[in-house]
Structure 1
Amino acid sequence: MAEPASLQAVIRTCLDDLAATQTLSPRQWQVCHHVLACRTAALGGFALRCDQCEAEAVCYHACRDRHCPRCQRRTSLDWCERQRAALLPVTYHHVVFTLPATLNGWIEVHPTEIYDRLFETVWATLSAFAADPKRLDGQLGMTAVLHTWGQTLTRHVHLHGLVPGGAFSASGEWHPAKSTYLFPVRALSRHVRGGFVSRLRQAAQAGGLPRLTDPKEIDRVLDTLMRTEWVVYSKPCLVHTETVVDYLGRYSHRTALSDRRLLSFDGEFVELSYKDYRDGDRRKVMTLSGAELLRRFLLHVLPKGFMRVRHFGFLANRCRTRRLPEIRAAIAALAATTCPVTAGHEAPTPTFDGYPCPSCHTGRLRVRAALAPKRRDGG
């Protein structure tokens, strides 16, 4: 009987095969073991019993690893709920900055350094454009999310940003952007390219990229980057203000691979569903060996502790509590009507009343005992 198609099944079957052909980092091993243990006896859980028909069931704990496709939906919903207090009654803009594939080799050996400089350069570019008196003449805000994958799980590093359409001036005024226009993407592309290459060159000269040891090769790569047209995307989010956070939530905690994209797994080969953006966004299916799918998935394991969601400008955590009321006042918006959830008026958390019973469909499964984590057999 074929193994059910899931990332957990692929790891269980193919991890040893992959490890035999390439060296995995301690962090990659850790993520694999977390996904393997997710919602199994290895993490413990609860024994449940229906209060009507006496049916029994078991509920195991989740691993809560940010790379696990089973654990991110609840995290994403919770994150979105916290962000609603920062909403402004303006048009938001979705911007995307993509790194050229030329940098993939450097990302392999220095991911933290490259990713940090991408965040830094994108924000420096957008804030400089916003501060220009000929444009918005004020401080911008942005929530940025790093993605490292494409639809086929190859390395495709890009930064999603959600930007309120306007800037807050030093004199306390709100300068709105045009509803369908933020900044020219060609100018953004050139500015980001120059700033990013300059930061990489400085880092290499200061020894911040120690695994890159050939000065001529460093110069060659940087010169190639300067001759490449960088891809920048900008589009207004023409949706209701209250749904903007949900829009970003689709990106904030998305994992490189979801189980629903795995159509079948026979123990050796996997059928992967993907969207082909070069062919009218058509849904297609590709077949990969389980080891190859796992290799591609592990390309996107982030360094431990790395912050892939960051807030900048007047949305930065250190100043948003003070800035947002000032901005709302500046754009003459009443907090009670423009902010779905305001400080001190959080939606009440529902009281847990057990799980619906799948047997009788009328009772509730309630916890009768806690189950300790079960050690795996073997050495």
Structure 2
Amino acid sequence: MGKIENRRTRYDLAAILRENRQYLSTYKLFEQQRKAFRDICACRTSELNGHTCYCNSCNYQRQAYNSCRNKHCPKCQFTKQAKWVDKLQSKLLDCKHFHLVLTIPHQLNPLVYLNQKKLYDALFQAAWQAVGKAASNPKFLGAQTGAVAVLHTWTQTMNQHPHIHMIIPSGGLSDDQMEWVPCKNNFLAPKKVISSLFRGVLCQRISQAIEKKQLNIPEHFQWNRIKNDLYKTGWNVNIEKPISGVQAVIKYLGRYTNKVAISNSRITNVENGKVSFSYKDRKRLVSKTMQLDTMEFIRRFMLHILPHNFYKIRYYGILSSANSKTKKEQIVALMETCMPIPEYEGLSAIEVYTLLTGKDVSHCPKCKKGRILCRALPKPET
């Protein structure tokens, strides 16, 4: 059950979904969840057609099926992540960067799940407004900073846990835009200040949306009571020590981008209607194994399918696209550094794969001399 032939992993999410297609007719899903389910099932199978790869020097040939390219498929993220991380080099500044994580309380989870597009947007906006306002305060940095923000919605055990990862330069542009202002003593702003601003902005946006009847309200969800409870406690904001060097920042941020709720390598066993997978216990810093009924495993994975055309990586402030040709160039000049050029820009996925792995898939693995060529498989008759 769920087992495939692969040198790196024995079990496959796609195989688990294919063997449990009844999930689609048994449970209520959003259309985007249904699409992701179907895409992952079809990934690298005859459903998506494919091509024959053959050597122009010997008799070697093999068939390969096309990938689904769904952003939630664990098999379709490798080169996408590498190209994004590489492109990020041209966006980051040559300075230390802070890593912030801003998390919403679990009481909001039911509301967020029913209103993902609107409330994930609000989560991004609240996170940036909190950080930007705190940083611009003369008591702290007193300058215009920026951020790369990434949305994650899961814990290691795939429970619902919406939170924003932010990478923020340890400095900012002065109000007159004539000076680069570095953070003093590796300090951006107090956690409590950012937490309070974050809570205030998000709660205000939720209140406004509810008043305008723009949200689907879960059964028994009493916003006024919940809001009062939320204001009684501080929201979780974590600020880690600044990371030195652009390459270190990129390597660090690469862990958090273009990820899906679970990778195939974490699935350790599939049998008797149950799925086992590994996870990290963050508190005890140890690896553990969890076993779930297959239907519960699929349900948890489906929690993290994002809305259609939703951007889970966003840029703000001096790192935003609007400022990339103006403030960014000015800051680079003020810091007396240069703007790096992405290494993978303009390269195909195969070329990027070759650079990353050192394996040239265009060379014949059999004769070692010929070149691998491809031709599309004939479409199946309908």
TM more than 0.5: yes
Q: How many residues align?
A: 366
CA distance in 1, matches of 2:187, 2:379: 54
CA distance in 1, matches of 2:37, 2:213: 32
Which of 277, 301, 304 is 2:305 aligned to?
301
Which of 179, 185, 191 is 1:185 aligned to?
191
Confirm or deny that 1:321 pairs with 2:325.
yes
Instruction: Flag the 1:35–1:48 CA change in 2: closer, same or farther, 3 A.
Output: same
Aligned to 2:3: 3
Which of 37, 40, 46 is 1:41 aligned to?
46
Q: Deviations over 1:315-363 (max 9, x none)?
A: 11112121111001222x231xxx4327xx9767489675344445x24
CA distance in 1, matches of 2:219, 2:274: 39
Confirm or deny that 1:159 pairs with 2:168.
no
Aligned to 2:138: 133
Instruction: Flag the 1:224–1:365 CA change in 2: closer, same or farther, 3 A.
Output: farther
CA distance in 1, matches of 2:375, 2:56: 14
The offset of 1:22, in angstroms, is 2.1
The offset of 1:238, in angstroms, is 2.7
Q: Which amino acid aligns with 2:235?
A: W
Aligned to 1:27: 32
Aligned to 2:373: 367
Question: 1:95-106 counterparts in 2 under 5 A?
Answer: 95-106=100-111
Q: Which amino acid aligns with 1:132?
A: N
Instruction: Flag the 1:346–1:33 CA change in 2: closer, same or farther, 3 A.
Output: closer
CA distance in 2, matches of 1:240, 1:168: 19
Question: 1:213-224 counterparts in 2 under 5 A?
Answer: 217-224=222-229
Instruction: Flag the 1:334–1:104 CA change in 2: closer, same or farther, 3 A.
Output: closer
Q: Deviations over 1:236-278 (max 9, x none)?
A: 3434322322321221211111000001212621111000112
CA distance in 2, matches of 1:231, 1:33: 36
TM-score (norm 1): 0.89
The offset of 1:179, in angstroms, is 5.4
Structure 1, unaligned stretches of length 5 or more?
Answer: none
The offset of 1:12, in angstroms, is 0.6
CA distance in 2, matches of 1:248, 1:22: 35
Indicate conservation of the 8 Å contact 1:15/1:294, yes or no: no
The offset of 1:128, in angstroms, is 0.8
Indicate conservation of the 8 Å contact 2:2/2:19, yes or no: no
Aligned to 2:7: none
Indicate conservation of the 8 Å contact 1:41/1:60, yes or no: yes
Indicate conservation of the 8 Å contact 2:92/2:319, yes or no: no
- The percent of aligned pairs where both chains have the same amino acid is 31
Question: 1:92-241 counterparts in 2 under 5 A?
Answer: 92-171=97-176, 172-178=178-184, 180-211=186-217, 217-241=222-246
Structure 2, unaligned stretches of length 5 or more?
Answer: 5-10, 352-359
The offset of 1:282, in angstroms, is 0.6
CA distance in 1, matches of 2:234, 2:219: 26
Q: Which amino acid aligns with 2:62?
A: A
Confirm or deny that 1:282 pairs with 2:286.
yes
Question: 1:324-343 counterparts in 2 under 5 A?
Answer: 324-331=328-335, 333-335=336-338, 339-341=339-341
Instruction: Flag the 1:209–1:368 CA change in 2: closer, same or farther, 3 A.
Output: closer
CA distance in 2, matches of 1:221, 1:103: 8
Indicate conservation of the 8 Å contact 1:6/1:259, yes or no: yes
Q: Deviations over 1:117-175 (max 9, x none)?
A: 11111111111112112222221110100000000000011000000111101222111
CA distance in 1, matches of 2:344, 2:13: 36
Deviation larger for 149-158 or 247-256: 247-256
Indicate conservation of the 8 Å contact 2:56/2:373, yes or no: no
Instruction: Flag the 1:348–1:103 CA change in 2: closer, same or farther, 3 A.
Output: closer
CA distance in 2, matches of 1:131, 1:229: 22
Question: 1:63-82 counterparts in 2 under 5 A?
Answer: 63-82=68-87
Q: Which amino acid aligns with 2:271?
A: D
The offset of 1:51, in angstroms, is 3.6
Q: Which amino acid aligns with 1:355?
A: S
Confirm or deny that 1:245 pairs with 2:250.
yes
